Amino acid sequence: MTAPPYMSNDRFIWTTDKPDAELIEPEVLASIDKNWLTFSLQKDYPPQSHTFTLYNHGDHAFAFNISTSDNYAYFVSQVQGVVFGRQLHALPFVRTTNSTTITVYRRPTNAFKVDEDYPPRKDRLFIYLAPIFHWKTQPTSVFNHTMPYEKLRICLNYTAQSTCEGSTFSLQQKRNGWNTWLQKARH
């Protein structure tokens, strides 16, 4: 069964029945080096911080947009940006890496307007990814339209204790959302 052709706003006729050209979107192959960040109780400034690295394993660049489930308690060093792919490394005059490092901050508890201590909780940090086709493209323009995005997840674990036992960050590969290629294999 084929869909009927339709006219779009840009005066192109889109059809699946004998098309003139097929649009192929490049695959986004991305991963992060940490997907579990633990924050302890801290009453005064400066805010606690953890860093993670977002890697591009593919040939094409992608834009990213970061949001959290609690945008007041957590904030990041870079909300939107571009991670270039390996294809740009073939050009000798372009110096870039295929990764970017982002810092996640948690506000101290005296920044919250509650009388009692802030209870322990788990929040999520979402990294939305979309391919870009030109290195001058602004990441904000990519995320203005409704389109399917790849998504990576990081758990932000607040313990509400003054000290954390064990590691304060880790990569738990059994948790879904630390890379894009395993998510496609599970669906």
pLDDT tens digit sequence for 105-130:
999 888 877 656 678 889 999 999 99
Residue carrying the six token digits 């509400």: 160
Question: In the prediction, which pLDDT does 187 show?
Answer: 47
Query: CA 108 → CA 72, 113, 130, 185, distances in Å?
Result: 11, 11, 33, 40
Question: In the prediction, which pLDDT does 134 show?
Answer: 76
**CA-wise closest residue to 58 among 89, 103, 24, 20:** 89
pLDDT-derived band of residue 7, with 50, 70 and 90 as boundaries? low
| Range from 1-10, 95-104, 123-132 that averages highest in pLDDT | 123-132
The CATH number assigned to the domain with range 26-186 reads 2.60.40.10
Flag the least confident range among 28-37, 84-93, 120-129, 138-147.
84-93
**Burial class of residue 154 (count of CB atoms within 10 Å of its CB; 0-12, 13-18, 19+):** buried
Question: In the prediction, which pLDDT does 129 show?
Answer: 94
Mean pLDDT value across residues 129-158: 83
Residue 71: pLDDT above 70?
yes
Beta strands in 40-171 (DSSP E): 48-56, 62-68, 74-76, 80-83, 99-106, 121-131, 150-158, 169-170
CB 179 within 8 A of CB 55: no
pTM, rounded to two decimals:
0.79
Angle at 21 between CA 19 and CA 25, to 5 degrees: 120
Residue 42: pLDDT above 80?
yes
* Average pLDDT over the chain, rounded to an integer: 81
pLDDT-derived band of residue 166, with 50, 70 and 90 as boundaries? low
Residue 69: pLDDT above 90?
yes
Residue 33: pLDDT above 50?
yes
